[in-house]
Amino acid sequence: MKSKPGPQAIPSADPHKFLYDLQTTAHLLSTNIWAVRALIAQGKLKYVKVGHAFLISPEYIREFIEKNAVSNAA
């Protein structure tokens, strides 16, 4: 049975998963795949390349968030 085209369910983030694909990473960062690709191209988000796939570890996502956190210190 073939799947129907249209919106696909986004997999939930599994803290025990070793690497995330671009779609899951985009979901976790509340953005889209193209923004994640841009972050990778700019060297702002680390990744692992396996074949043609760009995979991101949860540690790299946390590191990106910590480096880009903005505080409103007066």
Reduced to 3 states (helix: H, G, I; strand: E, B; else coil), residue 26 is helix
Q: Which residue has the higher pLDDT, 18 or 61?
A: 61
- pLDDT of 6 > 60? The answer is no
* 61/72 Cα distance (integer angstroms): 22
> What is the total residue count of the chain?
74
Closest CA to 66 of 51, 49, 46: 46
pTM, two decimals, is 0.73
pLDDT in tens, 48-60: 999 999 999 999 9
